Amino acid sequence: MLMISPRMASGMQEKQYTPSLLSFFIYNPKFGPREGEEEKKILFYHPIEIEKNEKIRNVGLCEAIVQFTRTFCPTKPAKSLHTQKNRQFFHEPEENYWMVMVVRNPMVEKPNKDGKPPTVEYQEEEIIDSVYGSVLQQCYSMYKLFNGTFSRAFEAGGVELLTQKLEKFFYRYLQTLHLQSCDLLDVFGGISFFPLDKMTYLKIQSFVNRVEESLSLVKYTAFLYNDQLIWSGLEQDDMRILYKYLTTSLFPRHTEPELAGRDSPLRPEVAGNLLHYGRFLTGPANLKDPDAKFRFPRIYVNTEDSYEELHLIVYKAMSAAVCFMVNVAVDLNREFCEQLDSLVGPQLTLLASDICEQYNINRRTSGPEKEPQFKFIYFNHMNLAEKSTIHMRKTASVSLTSVHSDLMKILGDINCDFARVDEDEEIIVKAMTDYWVVGKKSDQRELYVILNQKNANLIEVNEEVKRLCATQFNNIFFLD
C-alpha cells in the first residue's frame, strides 16, 4: 500500500510504502522427493502468474533453509528469513506440510533529479517477526476451521482434493489480509469479553441451557453481544478463531445493511414477524420464502482428538448473536429452522434488551468514563481475554489505532522481551517523543499502557499506572 508523505520544496515527494504480501505458498517435500518431481511438492502458490521454475526455486530455498537450521537444532527449524527486501515466514502446522508467507519490507522511494529513477531505501527493522508469524499461523487456523486438516483432505481425496480446497480458500482469504495494520493484537489473537453482572450472566446461561435441551441436536453454543463474547461451549483454540471469523467477516457483512436507511435496497427483508427481531445470519436469509435455498457453513473443531464437522448456525436478535453448532450428519431443513426461529427469536429478543438495559445502568453507576484517558492493551493468556482502548473500530478491512505506529512497535518489542522468560516482569521505556510506555507481565497476564506525559519522571509514571491498575485491574499486578 502506498502512502504519500509530502516533503518540502520543489514538489518532490518521498513515497512511503507499507509492508505488503509478495507471495504465499504451501508445499510438502514428501510429495516430490525425486529430482524432476519438484513441481509436485507445491500445493498452493500465490501469485499464480509466477513462472513454474521460479516457484520451484523459491520452494527449494525454503527447504534448504529449514534443512540448514536443522543442522544446529533438529527439532526447532527456521521460523523466518530476513533479506534486504523482504521477510519470509515459515510455519509447519502439520508434519511435512509447510506454509510460507513472503512480506515485502516497508520502503521509502526518494525521487532523484534529472529524470533518474528514484532511489529505493528498504526499512529492514520495521517488521516484527512475532506479529507476522502469528498472522501466518492464523491463516492456517482459519483454513482449518472451514476445511479441516491438510492430512484429512489428503486422505479423503489425495492431492487433487487438497489443492482444490487450498485454492478455493486462500484465493479469497489472502485478499482480506491487511499486512500494513498488523500489530500486537495479532500476536495475542484474543477475544473481547462483554462485561456483565452476575444476574444477567445467569440469565444467559439458563437461556443457553434451555435451548440446548429443547434442540437436542445442538452440540455447542456460543453467545455474543455487540461483537464481544459472553459464553462459549467450545474449546479455547476453536473459539478464538471462530471469534475472529465472526467479528471480522460475518458480522460486518451483516451490520452494514442493518445500518442502512429504511428505504435502502440494502435493508434486509424483515420477515414481517412482529413477535421478535431474530433472524439467521447463516442459513435461510428469509424464512418466509419457501423456495429459497440455503445452506449452513461447515466448521471443523477439536481437530486434535474427536475431529468434529459441524453446521454453523448463527442467529441474531438486535445486538445479541448466538451460534449453534450441530453435527453435519443432521439434515438441517426448513422445519428445523422454523422451530429454532420460533423458540429462540422471542427469548433472544427479550434477552438482548435486558442486556442493553443492564449495560446502561452499569455505565451510569460506574460514573464518568475514567477509561478514555488511559491508553492500554490488556491480555490474559489463560482465558484469552483481550481489551484495548487504543484500537478503534476493528473491522475486516482496517483497525485504526489512536497512537503512532512506532509506539505499537515498541509494545511489540516489549512483548518479545516478555516472551523470553517465564517470570513476572515490568519494562518501562521513554520513547524519543517523550511518550512513556509501561509493560507489565504478571502471572499469565500482560498489560501495556501508553502515557503522553512528556515532563513526567519515572516515579510519576509509576504512580499513574498504579492508579490505573487499582481501578481497572483490582491489583492484579503487584510490582512496585
Partner 1 sequence: MHRSDNRGSWEFQPEDTLIEKTGKFPSSLAQANLNGQKKAGSAVDVPSLAYRNEDIMSESWRQHRKHVFVLSEAGKPIYSRYGNEEALASTMGVMMALVSFVQAGGNMIRSIFSDEHTVVFLQKGPLVFVSVSATRQSEQQLRSELLHVYHQIVSMLTQASINRIFERRKNFDLRRLLFGSEKVLDGLLDVMDSDPSFMLSAVQCLPLPSSSRDTLSHILQKAVTPNLVFSFLIANNRLVSVVQEKTVLEDARLKPSDLHLLFNLIRASSAFQAGEIWTPICLPLFNHDCYFYAYVAYLDPPECTVCLVLLSTDKEAFYALAECKRKIEEAFASQNALQWVTNTPLYYVGDIGVANLKHFLYKPSKVLDHHRQLPQFTCPEMEVAYRSQEERIHLLDLYRNMHNRIHSTSRPLKLIYHSAGKETLLAWVTSKFEMFACFTPLITKKSAISELTKLLRWIKKEEERLFICQLPKYSSAPQPGRSSTDRGRSDRPDTSDTGLLSLL
x/- mask, partner 1, residues 111-150, rule CB under 8 A, reads ------------xxxx--x---------------------
Min dist. Cβ of residue 116 to partner 1 (A): 18
Judge contact between 399 and 391, C-beta under 8 A. Answer: yes
Pick one of 363, 417, 443, 452: the residue that binds partner 1 (CB under 8 A): 417
When the beta carbons of 9 and 72 are compared against partner 1, the nearer one is: 72
Q: What does 186-207 look like in DSSP terms, one character per residue? A: HHHT-BPBPP--HHHHHHHHHH
155 versus 417: smaller Cβ distance to partner 1: 417
> Of 273, 244, 213, 293, which is closest to residue 135 (Cα–Cα)?
244
Cα 114 from Cα 26, distance rounded (Å): 44
Beta bridge partners of 392: 400
Q: Is 335 in the site for partner 1 (CB under 8 A)?
A: no
Residue appearing with cell numbers 453448532: 325
How many residues contact partner 1, by CB under 8 A? 50
The least CB distance from residue 114 to partner 1, in Å, is 24
Residue 106 exposure: Cα atoms within 13 Å on the Cβ side: 17
Residue in 298, 430, 456, 476 binding partner 1, rule: CB under 8 A: 430
Nearer to partner 1, 66 or 191 (CB): 66
- For partner 1, give the closer residue by CB, 86 or 232: 86
Cβ of residue 420: shortest distance to partner 1, in angstroms? 7
Tell me the C-alpha distance between 121 and 117, whole Å: 13
- Distance (Å, whole) CA 92 – CA 213: 41
- 419 scored as a contact of partner 1 (CB under 8 A): no
Q: Among 273, 409, 442, 456, which residue sits at the site for partner 1 (rule: CB under 8 A)?
A: 409
DSSP at 385: B
Tell me which residue of 79, 90, 80 sits closest to 27, measured CA to CA.
Answer: 90
431 binding partner 1? (CB under 8 A): yes
- Assess 413 for contact with partner 1 (CB under 8 A): yes
From 69, 286, 353, 395, residue interacting with partner 1 (rule: CB under 8 A): 69
- Closest to partner 1 by CB, 78 vs 218, is 78
Of the residues 7, 30, 52, 57, which one makes contact with partner 1 according to CB under 8 A: 57
C-alpha 20/C-alpha 106 separation (Å) is 8
Task: Give the residue with the Cβ less far from partner 1, 183 or 238.
Answer: 183
Closest-CA residue to 405 (of 180, 178, 134): 180
> Where are any strands of DSSP class E within 105-204?
107-110, 119-122
3-state SS class at 77: coil
**398 part of the interface to partner 1, by CB under 8 A:** no
Which parts of this chain interact with partner 1 (CB under 8 A)?
Answer: 57, 61, 64-65, 67-69, 71-73, 76-86, 123-126, 129, 406, 409-410, 413, 417, 420-421, 423-432, 434, 457-459, 462, 479-480
